[in-house]
Amino acid sequence: MSQDRTENRAQVRYLDVAEEEAGQRLDRYLVRHLEGVPRTRIFRIIRKGEVRVNGHRAGPEARLAARDRIRIPPVRVAPEEATPQGRGPSPGLLETVQRAIIHEDERLLVLDKPAGVAVHGGSGISFGVIEALRALRPAESLELVHRLDRDTSGCLLVARTPAALRTTHALLREGQCEKRYLALLAGKWELGRKRIDAPLRTDTRVGGERTVRVDASGKESVSDFQPVQFFGKRATLVEVTLHTGRTHQIRVHAAHAGHPVAGDEKYGDAEFNSQVRALGLGRMFLHAHSMSFEWPRGGTFSASAPLPPELSSVLDRLMSERKPHGRQSSRGSPRAARAARTPRAAARPRAR
């Protein structure tokens, strides 16, 4: 456990990160050590620089190492602000997350995350996937390996040990993890297999809401787009391979190419969104369908999740339509096309 020291001049605490706590995010570490303090207050003291790691400011996403020294300021919580005892994820969320688990081994959990479920709490959402998993498995030290947007469905990896978290994060940083998505885009994609290398600024806010945009001063962002299935001139199903993992990367790169993602209310095309809503699309058509990598000490990890019914039914309706846009074509990646049409019951990740 962390060692607790007190500074006499004020009610400031210093905690030393224990070996078993290494790899945790700073915000999650503070949630555990500031019991009853709302997440909004925790994020506030981090942003203001009142929390220090080894004497330096750090962001909420900073990963801690063993023996890091954390300065925690005095935090006074009004009774009405305190987190109610016994409060936790709803039974409905717990059931949804439990059912979403499609694979587990000694190092990882794999979930087929439904759209509409956040991966973690924050920004007006009290609980997400990770909080529900921790409630379901209180004896385990669970951490998100990566993130998915709330409206994106599909493969989500959760580390069961600090060692697994460090290894998978290293693989992601080094570009050794292959992440593939399926997305329905507006119009006919005529660019073939196309690499979009367009830097993204992720720190822009419009009306207080984060908005990502292509900008030469942004961070390197690389996505490979491959057409899988054409629906005349109306839409194209594409497979996207990510080489970097910026916020909203696929959505912004697709819009930048002139083919926004179906159902994307932020970066999409309003007229196209209206058309696909008429076909029954009630969410954004973006699905994380596979993830794979090689463990450094040997062994292949591969997980996949097929399109959920609410997305595959939209493709069925597009196929059944006979519009004067020309004949529908299914040229593209056979593997991705099979993944798109595979029933949910066949989602069995391979992991060794």
Domain boundaries, the chain: 3-72, 88-173, 175-351
Beta strands in 189-267 (DSSP E): 194-197, 200-206, 209-214, 222-231, 235-242
pLDDT at 334: 45
pLDDT at 313: 96
Assign domain 88-173 one CATH number from 1.10.580.10, 2.60.120.260, 1.10.10.10, 3.30.2350.10: 3.30.2350.10
Pairing state of beta strands 3-7 and 12-16?
A: antiparallel
Assign domain 3-72 one CATH number from 3.30.1780.10, 3.40.50.1460, 3.10.290.10, 3.40.50.2000: 3.10.290.10
pLDDT at 113: 97
pTM over 0.95: no
pLDDT at 57: 93
The answer to whether the beta carbons of residues 10 and 74 sit under 8 Å apart is yes
- Other beta carbons less than 10 A from residue 127's beta carbon: 21
Question: Which two structure tokens, joined as six digits, stand for 336?
Answer: 């991705």
Dist CA 187 CA 262 (whole Å): 10
pLDDT at 51: 94
| The domain over range 175-351 is classified in CATH as 3.30.70.1140 | no
Task: Give one word for 49, left, alpha or beta, with left for phi > 0 and alpha for psi -120 to 50.
Answer: left
Dist CA 21 CA 2 (whole Å): 8
Question: Of the candidates 346, 341, 333, which has an alpha carbon nearest to the alpha carbon of residue 303?
Answer: 346
Q: For every one of its 352 residues, what pLDDT tens digit does the chain have, with 9 covering 90 and above?
A: 555 544 433 468 888 887 777 888 898 888 878 877 887 888 889 989 999 999 999 999 899 988 899 999 988 655 544 444 447 888 999 999 999 999 999 999 999 999 999 998 876 677 899 999 999 998 888 999 999 999 999 999 999 998 999 999 999 988 899 999 999 999 999 999 999 999 999 888 777 777 899 999 999 999 999 999 999 999 999 999 999 989 899 999 999 999 999 999 999 999 999 999 999 999 999 999 999 999 999 999 999 999 999 999 999 999 988 555 444 444 444 444 555 555 333 334 444 4
Q: Which residues are catalytic?
A: 149
pLDDT at 351: 44
pLDDT at 155: 97
The answer to whether the beta carbons of residues 115 and 153 sit under 8 Å apart is yes
* β partners of residue 236: 185, 230
Are both 88-173 and 175-351 of the same fold?
yes
